[in-house]
Amino acid sequence: PAAEAGLYTASDQIVLLSEQNVGSVLVNSSAAMVVEFYASWCGHCISFSPIYKKLARDIKEWKPAVNMAAIDCAADENVKICMEYKIRGYPTIKFFHANSFANSLGMPYRGFSRDVRELRHMIIDSLEYPGDPWPPACPPLEPTSEAEINNFFETNTVQHLALIFEDDKSYIGREVTLDLLQFENITVRRVLDTEEHLVSKLGVTEFPSCYLYYPNGSFERLVVKFEVRTFYVYALQRLPGVVRSGKPPPVFTELLKNRTEEPWRDFNSSRVYMADLESALHYSLRVELALQSVINGQALTALKDYISVLAKYFPGRPVVMNLLKSLNTWLQNQNKGPISYEAFRERVDNTAQVPDAALPEGVRWVGCQGSQPHFRRYPCGVWTLFHVLTVQANNIGDSDPKEVLKAMRNYIHNFFGCRYCAQHFENMAREGLDVVTSLPSAVLWLWYRHNRVNNRIAGDLSEDPFFPKIQWPSPEMCPSCHTVKDNGEHSWNEAQVIPFLGSHFSSSRILTDYLE
């Protein structure tokens, strides 16, 4: 479709406006809308688009209150709409408050910044513009008072009240309030440093700082590595009882009780299990690929590259490695193509009886167990497998930096059963394999893109409530991976992320529990 030909795709969490949806998206919407009117040929728009995408990821959790959209005014079918909205130059960004009328032209942002943080602040200022309708899903953003807090638990049943103490210029309290808007059992309010009685009652000396306040009047400081937005959000999202709205609170004993098919296998969520990797291989080679009765052309090349990287880098048990190597030798010799799946399968099952070579049958998920049969499992195994492979390739250190990622990309593109996932992954891969110029950058590429996926699907129906999607690893898992810039924005310390991934996915740390 034309919308996909512009600067944004469906993977960017930006509503792509068109003649068909412009009325329903901009008129009478329950969320405020930020809209970029751009032309796909305009250089400024092209250079602004990564910033706009980053902003969309950054405020993804705010969607019920404020959502983002874009429209390519250079596309023939959109010209009329852009004229109606009186667009004179590109890019133009306009803010439409909640419940805008059909004739509303929106409020243009003049001379807007190209900095995600400043854009975010500008959006908050617009939301708070006096007199404009308040989006129904938007929690209060104004500072709270001691009197209001004292009444709070009489009128509310939420478990946690988080108070962010800050000066009136700080946006952190409002940002964190919006970041947690889709979570239950927690309310976030900002308190100004001028609220003297409360400040002295809690002994607050640092601004910003965050305190948890309880119905009996007790309170405690939220302990974080840095007093900034992202660290508050990580910490608040994992307080007991805090869950995404509409999701049942995960109760571990319930999970154990309701399981009918397989017993739960205890595992350490900060470790990688060989049982998951072998299960992923079984599923990939015996179930997913079985859908292809004949494999030829581009698909055959993809399969060869996949089996080749497995034979080279999979850190498996000797019997599994013997199987992968013999499978690889056979496959690389199939020069003419096409091959039948049946012939491939015979090699996977080792009917040629290569000594000491086998891939265990069946799946036994451990670190990739889901609380229900439709959660986690195979896609979790696929991610884990490819992270392990990029890390192994980096450890061995003498190959084409893109080898594993290309094999992954082509496997996903040709065979991954979740076609919708495959399309999104292809959109990301198309955007940026060029940055991969070394083996460590391949490890980082996959980690970073996996986080983009986590960001996009956090809170979706596919999310297991027991395993919420986060920007991984959390500050608890890897404190040194996280840092802050001078302006208070969170940033990843990539120099620390690489060794963290290297250790987390390293062959020597993979646990062999639950293997047959």
113-132 positions binding ligand FAD, by CB under 6 A: none
Q: Is residue 454 close enough to count as binding ligand FAD by CB under 6 A?
A: yes
Place of tokens 């319930």: 254
Q: Which of 45, 73, 210, 368 is an active site residue?
A: 45
Phi/psi region, residue 20 (left: phi>0; alpha: psi -120 to 50; beta: rest), is alpha
Residue number, 162 or 307, with CB nearest to ligand FAD: 307
Q: Is residue 200 close enough to count as binding ligand FAD by CB under 6 A?
A: no
Distance separating alpha carbons of residues 272 and 460, to the nearest angstrom: 25
Among 457, 458, 484, 515, binds ligand FAD (CB under 6 A): 457
**CA dist list (Å): 85 to 19, 49, 444:** 13, 20, 42
C-beta of residue 66 within 8 angstroms of C-beta of residue 34? yes
**Is residue 368 flagged as an active site residue?**
no
For residue 500, the minimal CB distance to ligand FAD (Å) is: 10
Q: Is residue 250 close enough to count as binding ligand FAD by CB under 6 A?
A: no
Rounded to 5 degrees, what angle do the CA atoms 464, 252, 461 make? 15
Q: How many residues bind ligand FAD (CB under 6 A)?
A: 25
Residue range at the interface with ligand FAD (CB under 6 A); choices 59-67, 119-127, 138-146, 455-463: 455-463
Long-range contacts of 486-491 (CB under 8 A, 24+ apart): 487/117, 488/117, 488/172, 488/228, 488/229, 489/116, 489/117, 489/228, 490/226, 490/228, 490/229, 490/230, 490/231
The contact pattern for ligand FAD, residues 348-387, with x = CB under 6 A and - = no contact, is --------------------x-------x--xx-xxx--x
| Among 308, 355, 359, 349, CA closest to 329 | 308
**Is residue 481 flagged as an active site residue?**
no
- Tokens coding 61: 């959790």
Distance separating alpha carbons of residues 39 and 7, to the nearest angstrom: 9
For residue 453, the minimal CB distance to ligand FAD (Å) is: 5
Strand (E) positions, 245-382? 294-295, 339-340
**CA dist list (Å): 243 to 135, 239, 248, 448, 451:** 22, 9, 8, 25, 20
Q: Is residue 472 close enough to count as binding ligand FAD by CB under 6 A?
A: yes
378-437 positions binding ligand FAD, by CB under 6 A: 379-380, 382-384, 387, 412, 418, 420-421, 424-425
For residue 507, the minimal CB distance to ligand FAD (Å) is: 16
Q: Is residue 447 close enough to count as binding ligand FAD by CB under 6 A?
A: yes
Among 58, 61, 175, 464, binds ligand FAD (CB under 6 A): 464
Among 462, 491, 503, 512, binds ligand FAD (CB under 6 A): 462
Q: Is residue 112 close enough to count as binding ligand FAD by CB under 6 A?
A: no
Q: Which residues are catalytic?
A: 42, 45
